[in-house]
Amino acid sequence: MGLEEQQIIFEEEESIDIVAIVLRMLKYWYFILIGVVIAATIAYFYTKFTSAVYEVNTTLMVKAETSSASAEKVLEDMDLFSKKTNIQNEIVILQSYSTIRRTIKQLDFSVSYYSNNGYTLTELYHSSPFVVIYDSSALQPIDIEFNLELIDDNKFKLTSHADEIDLYSYKTDKIISQSLDFDIDKVYEFGEVIKTKECVFKIIRSPKPNIPFSPNLSYQFIFNSLNQQTLAYKKIVEIDLLRKDVDVLNLSLKGNNKNKITDFLNMLSSVYIDENLEKKNSMANNTITFIDNQLTKITDSLSFAVNRLQDYRSANKIMDLDFQSQQLFEKLSTLQIEKATFVSNREYYKYLINSINRLEGLDDLMVPATMGITDISLNKLVMELVDLNTTKLAITGNSSEKSFVIKNIDNKISNIKKLILVNLQNIIEANNIYLLDIENKINALNKELMQLPKKQQKLFGFERQFQLNDAIYTFLLQKRAEAQIAKASNLPDSEVIDEARVDVAVKTSAKLNQIYLIALVIGLLIPAILIYLDYVLKDQIQSRKDIEQITKTPIVGGIIQYKKPVTKVFIEHPKSIIAESFRSFYTNLQYFTKGKENQIILVSSSMPQEGKTFNSINLASVFASFNKKTCLLSFDLRLAKVHHAFDIKNDIGLSTYLINHSSIQDIIFPTGINKLDIIPAGPVPPNPVELIASNKTEELFQFLKSNYECVIIDSPPVGVVADGLLLAKYSDVNVIVVRQSHTKKKALATVVKELEANDIENTAMLFNGIKQSRIHGYGYGYGYGYGYGYGYHKEESTPWWKTLLKHKRS
């Protein structure tokens, strides 16, 4: 095998990155197949044991500013019930505990019904073949499963067991107590009252037609608490702006039963809109209530004034005031009405101060505009206070802890209260000044009144009292009518654009073909990744590139893996591919020695069992085959193996020569191969390093250089002992054997540093044990068929059955 063939090997080595990975995948194809089978099995059971998940959506427009047009007209553009809507606040209200709780209560999710086919639990929303009717005045066990087994058309078996249960009152919507060892296992008739100390209910067949019991299904039902259902839905309702440029909210919900989640979303929108309208109407209701209380008081006064005026006229036969008295009366009546208005306003201001200073909520607060108070600043502040209080109530729900949002609202409420109180103080001071001025004018008119005749004075007084009460009564009636008009004209600030619909529900869980496709990809990908990571993260040399990443030392050759248990493979199988590998190795060495006549070549490795002895024997055989007189030195004094390959005794050798017990001629043995002699190691000495460092070693190499054309040194691993470094100074080329899938990267790096530190030159790497690829001829696979034990580490024993199989195959 010449240089061109060697180049083929090197080219294959250079493409090892991709090729080796592909070959490794092909080698472990069964792992990938197992991965696919496991993934497909998991996918099968996943589809069996999981229910489909659907998503429904509804869109809700939240108007930025609304008010009733008719109300505005009636209340003279005072914007009695208009307000700016903060879209983020509305999102919080929609997702609040109180709104969702009210939604759940409207839908009545108190009992959940399920069917089970042995794999999947399916909720039967409005499609259960039976209905549970519970006694709301009695306690019921929540969050435990009742199993119903149909016996015949009239009877069923009910079973349930729990070590501890919560007993819930549907009347108060609270957990009242706990109970231990709850157990039901009894046959009942449909319609029969099931009564225990923990529950009272009955089960009837569904009144809906065409919902029969299925013999292939088992049935269950669960009592739910309002709080538990509210918290569950609060977590899964998602609300976002549809687009940034519009005040339209997108409400979405995912669940296993598309009918149920559709009903929930539609009811949530309806409840939110109703709450918004109720909030607006509550302002009008508070105003009407306040006015009704005032009317009750003024009605008695008006009735008394009318009766007294009529009685006086009848008794004194005086029907009307004279002209002078009439003029005086009109002036005084005007002032009295003005005074009554300011007094009424003062009463409202007192009411407002008391309402703001109290610790309770402000949900029944009446806005100033309803009382004819047109102060823009005060009206705006009170409206904002009412709005913030309503938002706080919606967000707080049943939570006792104040969140960041609640604290922020509380701070705003506190600041607005302070502003209102300051505003009221200024308004009251101004109101008192007006009252004082009016009273002064009234006192002046009263002096003029004293000059009238007595009868006219009395009639004037009775007439004035009647007119005053009548004016106040008329004013209150007018304001009450205005409040009722405003209430009737109110419209909600939101409207549903698109309702949630069952027919457009989107299945978000993966479809059957998607699940199996994902399983296939995962089944292929995970084993492939693991195989790749095993290849990449392995600390063993796998390719030529691995060697090149560690050292710039040239690679002198690549020895193909040979699986048969033959040591002298070049001699016994001269036409084999591995024999060609050794010929290429020999050819490349000539470039290192530059055709030198007397060559000394040291063969070592970084660690045991890398094939240095195997390569030393066959390299020596190659030199001999080229008619070069060759001597093979077994300088591994600690664990000699060369003599075994040639059936030569190891009684004498290098160790006996180095201690002057043998001469050079005594330790040189023929191998039976033309032009090839060997010098065995001899008995193991206690001090190999000292012997190698002695002058006798130098004398030995001088003799060998004079008598042989080539000397091959089988050296101990330089990564284990220092013997090889001492011998390297006598060699022309130092070959380090690197065995594929065996040599550790760290060990090789250490050897390279060691050689550089000791100024060892003319070093070359020999890539050993390259597996032949069935696809690409010479490729780098894994494993090495012929192993060598080494004395520094315990040799791994081969199982008897593997040895037997190897002999049978050969």
DSSP 611: S
Q: Tell which wins on pLDDT, 50 or 80.
A: 50
| Max Cα-Cα span within the chain | 173
- What CATH code is carried by the domain that includes residue 581? 3.40.50.300
Give the Cα separation of 202 and 193 in Å (integer): 5
pLDDT tier at 765 (50, 70, 90 boundaries)? very high
Domain hosting 444: range is 273-492
Q: Tell which wins on pLDDT, 206 or 20.
A: 206
pLDDT(262) > 90: yes
Query: Among 775, 663, 654, 797, which Cα is nearest to 716's?
Result: 654
If one counts every other C-beta atom within 10 angstroms of the C-beta of residue 101, the result is 21
What's the whole-number mean pLDDT along residues 410-435?
Answer: 85
What's the whole-number mean pLDDT along residues 326-341?
Answer: 72
Q: Tell which wins on pLDDT, 82 or 295.
A: 295
Check residue 77 and give left, alpha or beta (phi > 0: left; psi -120 to 50: alpha). Answer: left
Span of 79-83, 115-119, 239-243, 299-303 with lowest mean pLDDT: 79-83
pLDDT(556) > 80: yes
H helix intervals, 573-611: 577-593
Q: Tell which wins on pLDDT, 222 or 371.
A: 222
Nearest-5° Cα angle at 109, 108 to 112: 140
Instruction: Specify whether 325 is located in the same domain as 382.
Output: yes
Span of 35-49, 123-137, 401-415, 641-655 with lowest mean pLDDT: 401-415
Element (H, E) at 708: none
CB-based contact 421:377 (threshold 8 Å): no
pLDDT tier at 463 (50, 70, 90 boundaries)? low
Give the Cα separation of 687 and 689 in Å (integer): 6
Instruction: Specify whether 580 is located in the same domain as 443.
Output: no
- The per-residue pLDDT for 810 is 42
Positions of E strands within 85-199:
111-116, 121-123, 130-134, 139-142, 145-150, 155-169, 174-189, 193-195
Taking only the tens place, the pLDDT of each residue in 312-324 is 555 554 444 444 4
DSSP 685: P
- The per-residue pLDDT for 431 is 84
- The per-residue pLDDT for 454 is 52
The distance from CA 512 to its chain's CA centroid, rounded to whole angstroms, is 24
Look up residue 546 and give its two tokens.
């691995």
Domain count of the fold of the chain: 4
Q: Tell which wins on pLDDT, 460 or 255.
A: 255
Instruction: Specify whether 195 is located in the same domain as 279.
Output: no
Give the Cα separation of 649 and 630 in Å (integer): 20
Distances (CA, A) of 1 to 16, 582, 595, 792: 22, 9, 19, 36
Confirm whether 509 is domain-assigned: no
Query: Among 602, 634, 614, 601, which Cα is nearest to 559's?
Result: 614
Instruction: Specify whether 525 is located in the same domain as 455.
Output: no
Confirm whether 290 is domain-assigned: yes
Confirm whether 297 is domain-assigned: yes
- The per-residue pLDDT for 535 is 72
- The per-residue pLDDT for 27 is 80
pLDDT(51) > 70: yes
What's the whole-number mean pLDDT along residues 178-194?
Answer: 93
pLDDT tier at 450 (50, 70, 90 boundaries)? low
- The per-residue pLDDT for 300 is 65
Domain boundary among 265, 283, 310: 265
Look up residue 281 and give its two tokens.
């109407």
Span of 267-276, 466-475, 597-606, 667-676 with lowest mean pLDDT: 466-475
Instruction: Specify whether 321 is located in the same domain as 443.
Output: yes
- The per-residue pLDDT for 452 is 53
- The per-residue pLDDT for 610 is 94
Element (H, E) at 595: none
Confirm whether 342 is domain-assigned: yes
- The per-residue pLDDT for 359 is 54
What's the whole-number mean pLDDT along residues 130-147?
Answer: 94
Look up residue 784 and give its two tokens.
């090495």
pLDDT(77) > 90: no
Give the Cα separation of 288 and 477 in Å (integer): 10
Tell me phi and psi for residue 799, to 5 degrees: -60, 145
- The per-residue pLDDT for 677 is 97
If one counts every other C-beta atom within 10 angstroms of the C-beta of residue 158, the result is 16
Distances (CA, A) of 798 to 180, 519, 783: 65, 40, 14
pLDDT tier at 326 (50, 70, 90 boundaries)? low
Instruction: Specify whether 291 is located in the same domain as 261.
Output: no
Tell me phi and psi for residue 286, to 5 degrees: -65, -40
What's the whole-number mean pLDDT along residues 210-235?
Answer: 93
Instruction: Specify whether 398 is located in the same domain as 447.
Output: yes
Domain boundary among 537, 567, 596: 537
Distances (CA, A) of 513 to 122, 516, 522: 22, 5, 14
Instruction: Specify whether 754 is located in the same domain as 681.
Output: yes
Confirm whether 504 is domain-assigned: no
Positions of E strands within 233-380:
238-241, 248-255
- 156 bridge partner residues: 150, 188
Instruction: Specify whether 49 is located in the same domain as 116.
Output: no
Look up residue 673 and give its two tokens.
């191969």
Span of 115-129, 534-548, 695-709, 775-789 with lowest mean pLDDT: 775-789
Instruction: Specify whether 234 is located in the same domain as 141.
Output: yes
Confirm whether 507 is domain-assigned: no
Confirm whether 80 is domain-assigned: no
CB-based contact 770:560 (threshold 8 Å): yes
Q: Tell which wins on pLDDT, 4 or 759.
A: 759
CB-based contact 649:655 (threshold 8 Å): no
If one counts every other C-beta atom within 10 angstroms of the C-beta of residue 613, the result is 27
Distances (CA, A) of 51 to 46, 54, 123, 227: 9, 10, 10, 25
Instruction: Specify whether 787 is located in the same domain as 700.
Output: yes
Residue 636: strand, helix, or coil: coil
Instruction: Specify whether 331 is located in the same domain as 437.
Output: yes
Q: Tell which wins on pLDDT, 202 or 810.
A: 202
- The per-residue pLDDT for 400 is 43
Domain boundary among 537, 571, 605: 537
Give the Cα separation of 720 and 167 in Å (integer): 77
- The per-residue pLDDT for 246 is 84
Confirm whether 76 is domain-assigned: no
Look up residue 290 and give its two tokens.
């306040």
pLDDT(184) > 90: yes
pLDDT tier at 16 (50, 70, 90 boundaries)? very low
Task: Tell me the whole-structure pTM to 2 decimals.
Answer: 0.53
CB-based contact 63:493 (threshold 8 Å): yes
What's the whole-number mean pLDDT along residues 592-610?
Answer: 89
Give the Cα separation of 713 and 342 in Å (integer): 124
pLDDT(13) > 50: no
- The per-residue pLDDT for 285 is 74
pLDDT(79) > 50: no
